[in-house]
Amino acid sequence: MTPEQQIRTLRTEAQTPGATDIKAMEARVIALEALYHLAGRHHKDSTMHGLFTGLNAQPPDTLP
């Protein structure tokens, strides 16, 4: 399974109100960190280094 497919299998939709669904919140962090690395933003020379902005809107199959 590719990283992109693994990200899509994570349950990131909260089943309870607010931030009380800890598993969903943890899955969101894992998904965003994976997308951050897949997008190459972890490289210090990236213009988006340190920014998580827009990662959830960018489909994984369009990442560099």
pLDDT in tens, 20-35: 888 888 888 888 888 8
* pLDDT value at residue 58: 64
* pLDDT value at residue 10: 78
Tokens of 43: 């490289």
In the predicted model, residues of the chain with pLDDT beneath 50 are none
